[in-house]
Structure 1
Amino acid sequence: MNRLLFIVFSILCLNTYAQNKIKGKVLDKTTQTAIPYATIYLPELETGTTTNDKGEFSLELSKGTYKIVISYIGFQTQSLSITVPSKETLTFLLSESAMEMEEVIISTPFHKLQSENVMKVEQKKMTELKASGALTLAGGITSIAGVESVSTGNSIGKPVIRGLSSNRVLVYTQGVRLENQQFGSEHGLGINDAGIESVEVIKGPASLLYGSDALGGVLYLNPERFANMETSSADASVNYFTNTKGYSTNAGYKASSNGFKFLFRGSLTEHSDYDTKDYHVTNTRYREQDFKAGFGYQASKFKTEFRYNLNNAKLGLPEEIGIQSTAKTPLLPYQNIDNHIFSSKSTLFFDNSSLDVTLGFIYNNRKEFEEEHHHDEDEDGHEDEEHDEHEELEAALNMKLKTFNYDVKYNLPTIGKFETIVGVQGMNQTNSNHGEESLIPDATTNDFGVLATSHIHFETIDIQLGARYDFRSIDIDNNFDKTYNSFNGALGFKTNILKNVTTRLNLATGFRAPNLAELASDGTHEGTNRYEIGNENLTNEQNFQVDLALEYKNEHIELFANAFYNKVNNYIFLNPNGELINGDPVFLYEQENAFLYGGEFGLHFHPHPIHWLHLESSFETVTGQLDNDDYLPMIPANSLTNTLRVEFNSETIKNINAFVKLRSTFAQNNVNTFETTSDAYNLLSLGVGGTFKMFNNDMNVSLSATNLLDTEYVHHLSRLKSDGIFNMGRNVNIGVTYTL
């Protein structure tokens, strides 16, 4: 063993010195003038640099072939491959473009720009989502077309992609699969937006890439990057929200030197009950603490990074309109959740290939405190709001979920026009109960999957195809064992049918094995006031989706149309049987074939020569039905979003931006038998922001207002809808970020 460690260490040390310096320059293609401070990024190495004031840069790289991405505001992002060593000075010519800079898509296996991707993936910067005034990450992602959120107040939100949610949408963070008991209706993401750089959304089955639970799509959260070589930075920010008298603050530092790099970030968030025009919604208050840290090392043929995220949240669970207060300490009932995420990503580079190894461990401890377990009430049943009183309580529900997952992919040498990846993925998960109540039984789950996928690039068409096999076993203690398996595949095409028209056609299958709640529930679900009974005879959900995307783009306008049809066999749903247990209606888990269809359509207009002006419009629609013509529950209403946005720079203030947005949500009348319809409403928002120098450092100030007209409305996917409780009223958000 010691000999092996010595050999590995010697190889790393030798590789550290096997570097080749490459030099390059970035020029404006039209004027041939230098572009200073352009960004140079190598996605495989996750490192980069910037050009100097003469548009020049240099990098030290080991022998091999690398993808390099060059970007600068106002110019079209360029992606190409370079071979090291190179004796010549590399020259990159960028063309002007009013469109936003493209970023490398991380959630798909070949890490290409979206313009090169066969699969349509939506990507948004976290700064852009936060500028819209959303309180949380779950609220921010709803500004992405085709994405909604099932919410319980402001603190709990579950992503919905084209009508599918919960276990049908897989969430990735720090490069690993997030497992936080997401099968529960009152279980949110458990991730704070601090330290998240961007969000990517795959709409539709992604089982080829990720296995079970990616039936409806993937929400991929990219953590903030480490500092560029030989640089360091620090920043701090604070946001204040008038509606909840709440605040969100975070601070971080990162540095990179001599192959080593590290970062850390801490944040604290507190909110009172949110306010409507007529009342505060009792017990929607919450407190969240978050800490993220990362450490990385990079040699010429090897790179590795380790990240850790601790998130603690105390979330009030609203039940009815009661105490009117601006206190921030949750009342009973409330949840206390600890979520630990450990991740490790390593890559070993060969001359023409590479091996990626990603490991993750997630520990989720969910406790729920209820009134009947409060032993210190007075004779009138009144409760004390202080934290220390609550800490003396015994949790009624105390569940611990421990998940280890692994992902190993080998990037084969490129053969002609073929880029190919093969890999294995797996997971071991244990669920255990330690409280008085047990809604979900103790169980052990094991997953194993093997996959292969290729990207083939021809002159006029790109093709991506792949296949995968998965096996899952579930051992439910003292009850029964179950096994599930599935073959899945995907085939996609991208081509330009006309000069400025890009077409993407993707066909893919996906699957989802039944979760623990669906298989073995046997008790009252307090959040929904129903007695749920699992069904051990449930089989895989299996789907097939056709997705067609058309995109027209020229210098001044971009039009897009993205339509889909999704057939889901053996769709699992709850259905009442007419009986009562302890006064609660009994619901059984059943299966029937279902289908969903719809899409997203829109435009982005930026007239010449006023490229600082942007007019954006998007429409999204989805319909879901069972084969018996009943509508599926919790399907978002159709919506139309119109945004007028300006972006420009001045001599004293840079990145000046302002927007006015009107989101029109239509009435939802296509509802399940046990749902009620929802009325239409309009929400007006606006915002302004910019960056200026203070003490020779950048300070960004932003001001935004959501629901500016204080409209009273109920979102169709709000879990407070059944009680007739309105969503949040007018809110003004003031944010300041200072960077050193």
Structure 2
Amino acid sequence: MGRSTIANAEGYFGFPELKPGNYHLHVTHIGFKSFSKNIEVNLGENYLEVQLVESAILLASMTVEANPFKNGPLEQSQTILILDREFIQKNNGGTFANAIEKLPGISTINTGVGISKPVIRGMSFNRIMINDRGIKQEGQQWGADHGLEIDPFDVDRVEIVKGPASLIYGSDGMAGVINIAPAAFKQNGEIEANYSGLYRSNNDMVSHSFFVDGNEKDLIFRARFTAQDYSDYRVPAENFVYAGFLLPIFDNRLKNTAGTERHFSFTGGVQKNWGYSTLTVSGFNQQAGIFAGAVGIPNSYNLRHDGDHRNIDIPRQDNQHYKVIWNNNVQLGKYWMELDLGYQRNQRKEFSLPHTQGVGPNDFGNLALSLNLDVFTANMRLNQQHGEGGQSVLGFNAQQSVNRHSGFEFLLPNFQSFQGGVFYFREQRINNTLVWNGGLRADGAFHDIEEHLQPIFVRLEPTGEFDQRNPDINRSFFNISGSTGVSWVFKEDINVKFNLGSAYRIPTPIELASNGVHHGNFRHEVGNPDLVAERSYQADLNMALSKKKVHISVSPFFGYFDNYIYLAPAPRFSPLPGSSLLWEYRQNNAVFTGAELMSQLAIFKNFNLSFGAEYVYNLNLDTGLPLPLTPPFSTLTGLEYKIPEINKQVQNLYFFVESRRAATQNRVDRNERVTEGYHIWEAGLGWDLTFKNNTLQFQVSGQNLTNAVYFNHLSRYRLLNLPEQGRNISFSINIPLNIR
């Protein structure tokens, strides 16, 4: 129900005025394993004794919890990684997606430094669902150059489900789900404020974020404002090769990669003993330059330094994402009802020069493409506890989308889309060591896509004729999916989880009806109106050993995909200027398999070693080739030493060193580049400084400390042979203020 409290020095805590019913209690403390238990509260006073188990593992900011509804003990259901605010702050790279890529199985697709999106087990775009405050984040996520429009400072808790999650969340949960949840509410009478600042030397990024959170007589409120500004970023190279030409990089900076961001959110509502109801209004505003050589054909002239590393020129993106979310959590006897309603408006504008696209004077000026998406979402879940050993969830999801476009270019037509589904999930304890879960889901959807006629220009002058870029398309879909799994606790220290699931995904309007140059991908993309829904059959195994000084988790996975949708080059050239080959959406059968390893070892007191590894193997069963944009095998090794207390003023001093190794990715699709492996280093230190009953948190860290020249296989600038960022020094400060 969103409440939190802090135990006193003797360890006593309490939640006054709770209604009789079933609740889920979660207890955490640094140096101990987290504790989770379902409890039934009756009339009168209720007492509970909790004894935590000591753990020498210091990485308390990353834990493993229960099922997606957080209603059961830790050994139940799917494995979910939980990241708290400490982890996000420590790894803030300017975007939310970059903050979570240190987890095994998580990668990012980047366009420069301000635009990134997550990849789970080699899959991204509409195969990953991002839920913000219970509402599916809907934007133009089908594009590799379309970033995840989430304020990285406005994230308090992240729950990551890897593997099929379509049963509970819907079509786009085929590869996994990332849930972004707010912090627990303050106690009555508490008011806190917070300032977070960040500076990154590579692109002179300056970030400021202000936050206030309080509870006044059960009226709860939160507000945040974030501002980020950054300049052209630096690379450890003075030139690059594109289409056989050696082109310069002046001052080691990529021209026109600067950006500016302004974000806000406000939450208000009530919290009572029956639950809570809150309304959140938020806005994401970003203006980001696109490297001058990314649209059209790069040449020495348009790459020349213009005298200002902070100006944002053409080509550029202007992105706005506004959300209104109404969250309700209501106790109905022994049931809990969760009702989330949301409205989103995503406005994406891309600016470029018309003549570079073969277009003359037009009514849109330099506005190449404008996509305006309105989305209405409704989710309801009814949770029931079946004694100490079971629980069930009955729910539905519904979503209505309307997209409108403008600009002198064409890529995606106007469309309306609806999709919705109902599901039932049950989890039952068989005995003290074995837990079973399973469920079914039924979904329906339809797309109403409008015909688009594009004016034809000859020598930059309109001819009065039109080219049909796509016809009217009306498609409907229906799917049934299900999943089941078991969790076996062996000798208390070993937990084995095995899940089987049949997931699905309906083709999106961009896959059915696109027909234009997608500059973020440097190609002409053509949809296929005859695509059918994808179907996957996936198996996920997680084996975890957790002792006082060691934690090891191994997660192999396998998936067979029927009618997997992907882009492939066609055997003909595009007739449009600024492009080469046509790329078509196709369907083939495919397999995905691989594994992740996550381990932590307390070598001695306050000194931890961590090691993570990930590998993804996929194969197009019809062509015999790998699928594109597959992350390479990589490892992340870290050492951390922590001194809990130096004196009353300086506490929680820690040092860390991390080493990332990525293998050469030579398993590539046709016309996809092989990317050489790399080895980069990161290190840093942080500490808390107590000042007048407030604790200031500082961190200094360095990324790519050796200024290595390396390429990220998933970077969109990889297609231009542009290396990743050079050496970067980051400074961060966090100042919490206890107002009352």
**TM over 0.5: same fold?**
yes
Alignment of 1:90-169 (within 5 A): 90-99=48-57, 100-101=59-60, 108-112=67-71, 115-132=74-91, 134-169=93-128
Q: Aligned with 1:213: secondary structure?
A: helix
1:52: Cα distance to partner?
A: 2.3
Partner of 1:65: 22
What is the aligned-residue RMSD (CA, Å)?
2.1
Matched residues, number:
678
Which of 279, 291, 302 is matched with 2:264 structurally?
291
Partner of 1:313: 286
Partner of 2:628: 633
Aligned AA (1:83): V
Residue by residue over 1:499-546, the C-alpha shift from the partner in whole angstroms, topping out at 9 and shown as x without a partner, is: 422101011111111111110012222333422221110001110111
1:108: Cα distance to partner?
A: 4.2
Aligned AA (1:282): K
Q: Aligned with 2:490: secondary structure?
A: strand
State the distance in 1 between where 2:718 and 2:22 align: 55
1:582: Cα distance to partner?
A: 2.9
Partner of 2:347: 365
Aligned AA (1:587): W
Q: Is the 8 A contact 1:273 1:326 kept in 2?
A: no
Aligned AA (2:445): R
Q: Is the 8 A contact 2:403 2:416 kept in 1?
A: yes
Aligned AA (1:62): K
Q: Is the 8 A contact 1:264 1:293 kept in 2?
A: yes
Aligned AA (2:21): G
Q: Is the 8 A contact 1:352 1:414 kept in 2?
A: no
Q: Is the 8 A contact 1:253 1:263 kept in 2?
A: yes
Alignment of 1:489-568 (within 5 A): 489-568=482-561
Are residue 75 (structure 1) and residue 57 (structure 2) matched?
no
Q: Aligned with 2:507: secondary structure?
A: coil
**Which range moved further: 702-711 or 584-593?**
584-593
State the distance in 2 between where 1:261 and 1:630 align: 55
Aligned AA (1:53): A
State the distance in 2 between where 1:505 and 1:729 align: 42
Partner of 1:674: 671
Q: Is the 8 A contact 2:391 2:427 kept in 1?
A: yes
Alignment of 1:615-630 (within 5 A): 615-627=609-621, 628-630=623-625
**Which range moved further: 208-217 or 53-62?**
53-62
Partner of 1:691: 688
1:634: Cα distance to partner?
A: 0.2
State the distance in 2 between where 1:548 and 1:486 align: 25
Are residue 342 (structure 1) and residue 295 (structure 2) matched?
no
Which of 280, 294, 299 is matched with 2:253 structurally?
280
Distance change >3 Å, CA 107–CA 673, structure 1 → 2: farther
1:113: Cα distance to partner?
A: 6.9
Q: Aligned with 2:4: secondary structure?
A: strand
Aligned AA (2:407): G
State the distance in 1 between where 2:20 and 2:74 align: 28
Distance change >3 Å, CA 453–CA 596, structure 1 → 2: same
**Which range moved further: 722-731 or 348-357?**
348-357
Q: Aligned with 1:47: secondary structure?
A: coil
State the distance in 1 between where 2:49 and 2:62 align: 21
Aligned AA (2:683): L
1:84: Cα distance to partner?
A: 3.2
1:164: Cα distance to partner?
A: 0.5
Are residue 591 (structure 1) and residue 591 (structure 2) matched?
no
Distance change >3 Å, CA 570–CA 161, structure 1 → 2: same
Distance change >3 Å, CA 723–CA 88, structure 1 → 2: closer
Structure 1 portions without partners, runs of 5+: 1-44, 375-391
Which of 419, 424, 431 is matched with 1:452 structurally?
424
Q: Is the 8 A contact 2:354 2:365 kept in 1?
A: no
Are residue 186 (structure 1) and residue 145 (structure 2) matched?
yes
Q: Percent identity?
A: 26
1:246: Cα distance to partner?
A: 1.4
TM-score (norm 1): 0.88
1:192: Cα distance to partner?
A: 1.3
Q: Aligned with 2:172: secondary structure?
A: coil
Residue by residue over 1:551-599, the C-alpha shift from the partner in whole angstroms, topping out at 9 and shown as x without a partner, is: 1121111122110011111011222222221353222211100111101
State the distance in 1 between where 2:61 and 2:697 align: 22
Distance change >3 Å, CA 285–CA 160, structure 1 → 2: same
State the distance in 2 between where 1:533 and 1:138 align: 28
State the distance in 2 between where 1:494 and 1:288 align: 44
Q: Aligned with 1:115: secondary structure?
A: coil
State the distance in 2 between where 1:621 and 1:129 align: 24
**Which range moved further: 79-88 or 403-412?**
79-88
Partner of 1:38: none
1:413: Cα distance to partner?
A: 4.5
Structure 2 portions without partners, runs of 5+: 238-251, 357-363, 452-471
Q: Is the 8 A contact 2:199 2:205 kept in 1?
A: yes
Q: Aligned with 1:135: secondary structure?
A: coil
Q: Aligned with 2:5: secondary structure?
A: strand
State the distance in 2 between where 1:443 and 1:96 align: 56
State the distance in 2 between where 1:319 and 1:527 align: 12
State the distance in 2 between where 1:586 and 1:203 align: 33
1:646: Cα distance to partner?
A: 1.8
State the distance in 2 between where 1:428 and 1:133 align: 33
1:130: Cα distance to partner?
A: 3.5
TM-score (norm 2): 0.88
Q: Aligned with 2:14: secondary structure?
A: strand
Residue by residue over 1:228-257, the C-alpha shift from the partner in whole angstroms, topping out at 9 and shown as x without a partner, is: 332110111211111111111101111112
Aligned AA (1:509): S
1:129: Cα distance to partner?
A: 3.6
Are residue 52 (structure 1) and residue 8 (structure 2) matched?
yes
Alignment of 1:116-515 (within 5 A): 116-132=75-91, 134-278=93-237, 279-320=252-293, 322-324=303-305, 327-372=309-354, 394-414=366-386, 417-457=389-429, 458-478=431-451, 479-515=472-508
State the distance in 2 between where 1:412 and 1:200 align: 22
Which of 699, 707, 714 is matched with 1:710 structurally?
707
**Which range moved further: 74-83 or 186-195?**
74-83
Q: Is the 8 A contact 1:563 1:599 kept in 2?
A: yes
**Which range moved further: 568-577 or 482-491?**
568-577
